[in-house]
Amino acid sequence: MNIVLLDGYTLNPGDLTWKDLEYLGQCTVYDRTPPKKVVPRAKDAEIALTNKTVLSSDVIKQLPKLKYIGVLATGYNIVDIEAARALCIPVTNVPAYSTRSVAQMVFAHLLNLAQHVGHHAETVRSGRWTFNPDFCYWDMPLIELAGLTMGIIGFGRIGQATARLALAFGMKVIAYDIVTPSSIPEGCQFVELDDIFRVSDVISLHCPLTPQTKNIINKERLELMKKTAYLVNTSRGPLVDEQALAQALNNEGIAGAGLDVLSLEPPEKNNPLLKAKNCFITPHIAWATRAARERLLQVVVDNVASFLAGKPRNVVNGVKATA
């Protein structure tokens, strides 16, 4: 089988190995593929693998040998799964490989907002402590998380993993989801969406991007939040109206934000959040710990092997065609 991986660099910039994938067929790995090179590079592929390279209906129709599409991520919105279904091409994804890493990133952002370790360490490195009249100093309010309320929107795998960490920090947890789980973990309380905004000291977003959740953080909801509250978004950028959030931060409507995702990635130079007050942005890396990438690659390989064995798994478009 001819396997073409269109954009392997972010999964494996060199610290993992493709050998298990290469074992499954004639494998060509590109670091990245610009849109106009997708068809020429994949035209002989029977198996196409993509992380963020778009496989639109138009592209899929120009790949006559294609039998299988594997997405190297949980979200598969970059593939037109209906077009693939019409051609009996199964599309698979990789669920749940990064749950703990993403929950950990929520707390990396939250602890940064609460204590600004990086900033204070930088001032010490630059010599300021040495000349300080007192034995200590701090530049921003230092916040104890215990006793604060964490509001979680989207109480799925990552939302619940985040809740467990919050409880371990002594926080109270309230949650909102369109689906109420059959059992609510001890220490967590389900509330209405507006109550999340009114009551929370920290709001963490864990719902997927859908027409209903686009701009779920908007001007009106930001105005419901406490002035001392923080927003953390490790889910998807378009959940947030970025102009409204930048305004809320700059006008001290809320105290700070920790963001791992933006509406356009990489962001444009004039994205208002890049320079907003108390806004800390990481470049979509919550998923990218080595442990999570190793798990991801293993599932990608298992998905291809299962397809080749005639039993595709993690299929997201209902096609059970065999190789």
Site residues for ligand NAD per CB under 6 A: 74-75, 96, 98-99, 102, 153-159, 176-179, 206-208, 210, 212-213, 234-236, 260-261, 284, 286-287
Q: How many CA atoms within 13 Å lie on the side-chain side of 144?
A: 3
End-to-end CA distance of the chain: 9
Residue 281 beta carbon to ligand NAD: minimum distance, rounded to whole angstroms: 12
Q: Is 198 a known active-site residue?
A: no
Is-contact 64 291, C-beta < 8 A?
no
Catalytic pick from 236, 242, 293, 295? 236
Considering beta carbons, is residue 109 or 116 the nearer one to ligand NAD?
109
Residue 280 beta carbon to ligand NAD: minimum distance, rounded to whole angstroms: 14
**Measured in whole angstroms, how far is the alpha carbon of residue 94 from the centre of its chain?**
13
Q: Is 206 a known active-site residue?
A: no
Considering beta carbons, is residue 67 or 206 the nearer one to ligand NAD?
206
Q: Are strands 149-153 and 202-205 parallel, antiparallel or unpaired?
A: parallel
How many residues comprise the chain?
Answer: 323
Is-contact 5 29, C-beta < 8 A?
yes
Considering beta carbons, is residue 153 or 276 the nearer one to ligand NAD?
153
Match 């993993």 to its residue by tokens.
161
Amino acid at 170: G
Considering beta carbons, is residue 171 or 259 the nearer one to ligand NAD?
259
Q: Quick count: other Cβ atoms within 10 Å of Cβ 40? A: 10
Considering beta carbons, is residue 217 or 246 the nearer one to ligand NAD?
217
- The residues, ordered by sequence, that sit 6+ positions from 81 with a Cβ below 8 Å of its Cβ are 91, 316, 317
Residue 210 beta carbon to ligand NAD: minimum distance, rounded to whole angstroms: 6
C-alpha span between 207 and 158 (Å, rounded): 9
Q: What DSSP line would sit under 59-105, residue for residue?
A: HHHT-TT--EEEESSS--TTB-HHHHHHTT--EE--TTTTHHHHHHH
C-alpha span between 300 and 293 (Å, rounded): 10
Give CA torsion, residues 211, 214, 217, 221, to 10 deg.
-30
Query: Angle at CA 129, nearest 5°, toward 128 and 134?
Result: 125
Residue 306 beta carbon to ligand NAD: minimum distance, rounded to whole angstroms: 21
Considering beta carbons, is residue 116 or 236 the nearer one to ligand NAD?
236
Q: Is 236 a known active-site residue?
A: yes
Residue 266 beta carbon to ligand NAD: minimum distance, rounded to whole angstroms: 14
Residue 103 beta carbon to ligand NAD: minimum distance, rounded to whole angstroms: 9
Residues marked as catalytic: 236, 265, 284
